Amino acid sequence: MKKPTPFIPKWQNKAPEKGSFRSILKWGDPNEYKNPSMGFLNVIKQGLGLSDSDFKKMQKLGEEKIKDTRVSMISESAILLFENIVGKENLFVDTYERLKYSSGKAMEDIYKLRENIVDKIPDLVLHPRDKEDVKKIIGLCNDKKIPVHVYSGGSSVTFGLDCPKGGVTLVMSTHMNKMLGFNEKNQTITVQPGMMGPFYEDLLNHAKKKLGTKKRYTGGHYPQSFEYSSVGGWVVTLGSGQASSYYGDACDLVISQEYVTPSGSFKTHEYPGTATGPKVNDIMKGSEGCFGVLVAVTMKVFSYNPENSKAFTFMFPDFEKAAKAAKQICQDEFGMPSILRISDAEETDVAMKMYGLKDGILDKFMGLKNLKPGQRCLLMGKTNGEKNFSKNVAKQVKKICKKNKGLYLTGYPMKKWYKGRFSDPYMRDALNDFGVLIDTLESSVTWDNIHNLHKQVRAYIKSFPNTICMTHASHFYSQGTNLYFIFITNMKDIGEFRTFQQGVIACIEKNGGSLSHHHGIGRMMAPWMEKHLGKEQMDVLRSIKNHFDPNGIMNPGGLGL
């Protein structure tokens, strides 16, 4: 008997039309696609109770053209003043540009675009050419009490780009994306905030050739949104890269910052350590455009020695043992792996299927070792740094994993994940086309609360029928880690999805997780901030906000301020 030909959905593999909603909502390169593998598609079907027929009819694709209907609330005379600052070619009032530069990548952002909803957009989009432009814009906006928002990479997943009060959006990535200085002695680079991740990293990796340095460098910061994220965005949203366990979170990488605020401009000193009172450099990190506009940032750079890197993967009998091993890796003081990840049982099963490892030799071998689907958990990562250091980290990781019943699976699955790590977001669009909704929420957690938080949030998510919930921890500290929840549903109504997502946030908050580990606050978490930090701490942030921005023009409503 012939095996039936497996059904493959007709994925929408063509570049979006110019001027369409789809051209805004689609992740990444217009010409690039990544469709779910058959393994992953089967996971989705099974998890969401869907059949082939659900993948035969596409949902709203957002292919409609955006009509230029919305009137700008900024007067013609004011627009002329902005034009005098940035030039006509750097000023846009058409709806397309205004929608584009206020759309992020949360599920709800994308859903709205598919529904052709034009909402919370600025009145005006400006592409400042330099710091002086920014100063003049902020001065003018402050005089006229016009709200100001900042856009660089556009990869916010927390409604960080919404402009509920209109105003202007400054796009930093168009012109303000240049290197301002490289100091090899101090191992620092100074860049404008709109420099994008890949350009930044490429410049550093090829510094010998491009900058005439003695060594090659890396920024050590690779968030999943790397390709569509900017250096400034990393800093003002307190991002973390996938290799943060070794290189540090964005906040650890910042040596100095220069800001333009309604109350004045300043640049902090470049000392790596000082005792001259509370550090304004720290106070500005994570300010999400609510205090002022970041116009330059000096970052630490590191030696680039990918040849020293060692990849590893282990399979543990359960999440408790994987977490125990990870905790010990963090606390044993042999240095940290750059990448370290542990996946819970559901994510592990999905990963096995996604990467075609399920039902293979590896799977059979694991069966023999009593590593059961639905229980077993992946730990993977890689090391960096000086050769012996890197080797010793890998050696100690191996020792600890073995002691905790981890089975060594070679570096292969890690390398496979590493290769595709930035392209996974493309798959979301493909699944969205058939009505499958995917989003994520993430939280910081101390070691003593990891299992409680994991269980409670998972239980909440799984209480919704036909929901996939994959969880991993990917940023590690001696004192704790983060939990990253990915949920997939086929709820038909965005209202239903919103209520569900709010429920997840409530569950995280209630069970001792932080509102965000590295996605920032945006307007998604803003309403929770007072409850989470308490009135006293919010009052501190409010007082700083009030100092910098007495007229409340800087990203109004951001951070809950």
Tokens standing for 273?
Answer: 């350590």
332 belongs to the binding site for a copy of itself (CB under 8 A): yes
199 belongs to the binding site for a copy of itself (CB under 8 A): no
251-255, Cβ contacts within 8 angstroms, sequence gap of 24 or more: 251/282, 251/285, 251/286, 252/300, 253/219, 253/220, 253/221, 253/299, 253/300, 254/281, 254/285, 254/297, 254/298, 254/299, 254/300, 255/186, 255/188, 255/281, 255/298, 255/299, 255/300
71 belongs to the binding site for a copy of itself (CB under 8 A): no
559 belongs to the binding site for a copy of itself (CB under 8 A): yes
CB closer to a copy of itself, 77 vs 276: 276
User: CB of 130 within 8 A of CB of 176?
Assistant: yes
Beta strands in 37-171 (DSSP E): 91-92, 124-126, 148-151, 168-171
Shortest distance in whole angstroms from residue 430 CB to a copy of itself: 29
Q: What is the three-class DSSP state of 341?
A: strand
Q: What CA–CA distance (Å, rounded) separates 363 from 372?
A: 9
Residue type, 394: A
Which residue in 46, 84, 186, 466 binds a copy of itself (CB under 8 A)?
186
46 belongs to the binding site for a copy of itself (CB under 8 A): no
- Specify the stretch interacting with a copy of itself by CB under 8 A; choose among 84-92, 231-239, 352-360, 455-463: 231-239
Q: Which is it for strands 339-343 and 468-473: parallel, antiparallel or unpaired? A: antiparallel
Site for a copy of itself in 427-446 (CB under 8 A): 444-446
Which residue in 452, 463, 466, 546 binds a copy of itself (CB under 8 A)?
546
> Could you give phi then psi for residue 55, rounded to 5 degrees?
-105, 25
CB closer to a copy of itself, 310 vs 532: 532
160 belongs to the binding site for a copy of itself (CB under 8 A): no
280 belongs to the binding site for a copy of itself (CB under 8 A): yes
Site for a copy of itself in 288-307 (CB under 8 A): 288, 300, 302-303, 305
CB closer to a copy of itself, 416 vs 518: 518
Which residue in 42, 174, 187, 205 binds a copy of itself (CB under 8 A)?
187
183 belongs to the binding site for a copy of itself (CB under 8 A): yes
536 belongs to the binding site for a copy of itself (CB under 8 A): yes
203 belongs to the binding site for a copy of itself (CB under 8 A): no
547 belongs to the binding site for a copy of itself (CB under 8 A): yes
Name residue 395's beta-bridge partners: none
CB closer to a copy of itself, 33 vs 548: 548
Name residue 485's beta-bridge partners: 441, 471
Measured from the Cβ of residue 379, the count of other Cβ atoms closer than 10 Å reads: 29
Site for a copy of itself in 460-519 (CB under 8 A): 475, 477-480, 482, 514-519
Shortest distance in whole angstroms from residue 133 CB to a copy of itself: 19
Element (H, E) at 303: strand 302-303
